[in-house]
Structure 1
């Protein structure tokens, strides 16, 4: 067990250090969500939303945080493919640590990086009139980590089945954009949607993460908080279990 914990810690630390040393990555990853928030958010609010742009920015703010966490989490798994191509993954897999610890370490590392990225978006809350206390902030970090861990595990599951990073990019983009747009990050998911879209919204695991974060930060909700957290947790657990299973089968 000691070897497993050391392996998890080492892989976690590697991902965190690589992120902190890559300043262009930090800036570019933070710039995209901020553009969505201030450029697209303000544009849509003035064109379609009644009651002022500030209300719409408050509504999409938790969704933009979730978007930042989602994209960072999923794409952190692409490093598995790079490690496979350059031989680092083979060295890790033959190390005297259980293979499941490799998947867990990568999931925790990607989750930590994604939460760091989401924290940058949290800092702009005063600019759009969103106020929350320390208790709300604490629960927001927990929800962000749960979303990040679930999505990183999902990314790892995909990466274990891919042999090239080009294939990974295609598959992830095919899944990522529908997950984001159907999550309710940019529009309400209550009454008024077509039935087929309501079905897609409810089978999208990110919908529940966005809803939980929106409840915590701005007090708006669609589902009970226990349902939101339960589905995000179950999705992450299943994705990680499958990722570990595929790692065990990796040659």
Structure 2
């Protein structure tokens, strides 16, 4: 019971931190909408993209949702650095709760924030001419949870190795953009050169975007079940890896 209460407390703190910064919420919604409206309309007008009602904007819509989940999940790992700098992390570490529970509580808080943003974007699907049914909404939210747990764990894993905000942001700049660009969010992943296709297939976000595209547009490269299994494995591995490294690093600092 103590572990569950500890996970809930850490989750609640992450949610209060997210909801306190309303500008962050607005920015996280406005930015993907700008991608959809400006990038989708501009590039969509210059290329012919058939086969999907709504054209290119509808095609990149699941990818932009994946981008939002990716950015929110990984960058939320900076909360560990902030807690460490202000001494709050030491208070958590001396509490009667295990390290995996601490990481799980933070990962769940990060995932909930990502799911809130995903829900808002899903409700705005009419802007790109996509009809959002309750079943599609539910499956997309489940996918959002799994994807954000994986990349939230990755963000926490990186934060465990980093002692400063500058170092964290530097590492993120080398990781986040390639993951997004190589996910198939902005272009079809079929017919690519073999060297580029290999990088795309090793990218976990590729399967997240493909699963979202199947759920929302009923178009995909991989079966939905395969994508969900791979995403779930990625999420479990990242959370456990973050827990292990977090335990080792923080014990050495205490």
TM-score normalised according to structure 1 size = 0.96
For residues 94-113 of structure 1, what are the structure 2 equivalents within 5 Å?
94-113=94-113
Partner SS, residue 27 of structure 1: helix
SS at match of 1:185: coil
Contact 2:53 2:129 in 1 (8 A): no
Equivalent position of 1:125 in the other structure: 125
User: What corresponds to 1:199 in structure 2?
Assistant: 198
Q: Does structure 1 residue 25 correspond to structure 2 residue 24?
A: yes
> 1:168-247 counterparts in 2 under 5 A?
168-190=168-190, 192-247=191-246
Structure 2: how far apart are the matches of 1:173 and 1:17?
27
SS at match of 1:223: coil
C-alpha distance 100-185 of structure 1, shift in aligned 2 (>3 A): same
Q: Distance in 2 between matches of 1:127 and 1:29?
A: 17
Mapped to 2, the partners of 1:137 and 1:29 lie a distance apart of 19
Q: Work out whether residues 200 and 206 of structure 2, in 8 Å CA contact, stay in contact via their aligned partners in 1.
A: yes
After superposition, residues 29-178 of structure 1 pair within 5 angstroms as 29-51=28-50, 54-178=54-178
TM-fit CA distance, 1:231 = 1.0
CA deviation vs aligned residue, 1:70-125 (integer Å, no higher than 9, x gap): 10111111010010011000110011111111100000000000111122211211
Q: Distance in 1 between matches of 2:134 and 2:67?
A: 23
Check the 8 A contact 2:123/2:132 in 1, yes or no.
Answer: no
Task: State the secondary structure of the residue aligned to 1:176.
Answer: helix
1:135-167 CA-partner distances (Å, limit 9, x unpaired): 111111101111111110111111111111111
| 2:7 paired residue number | 8
User: Aligned equivalents of 1:50 and 1:239: distance in 2?
Assistant: 36
CA contact (8 A) 2:210 2:221 kept: yes
> Are the aligned partners of 1:160 and 1:247 in contact in 2 as well (CA < 8 Å)?
yes
Partner of 2:131, secondary structure, is coil
Cα distance in 1 for residues equivalent to 2:245 and 2:20: 30
**Does structure 1 retain, via aligned residues, the 8 Å contact 2:122–2:137?**
no
SS for the counterpart of 2:227 is: helix
Query: How far apart, CA to CA, are the structure 2 residues paired with 1:136 and 1:117?
Result: 16
Gaps of 5+ in 2: none
Q: CA deviation at 1:53?
A: 9.2
**Partner SS state of residue 160, structure 1:** helix
RMSD of Structure 2 on Structure 1 (CA): 1.3
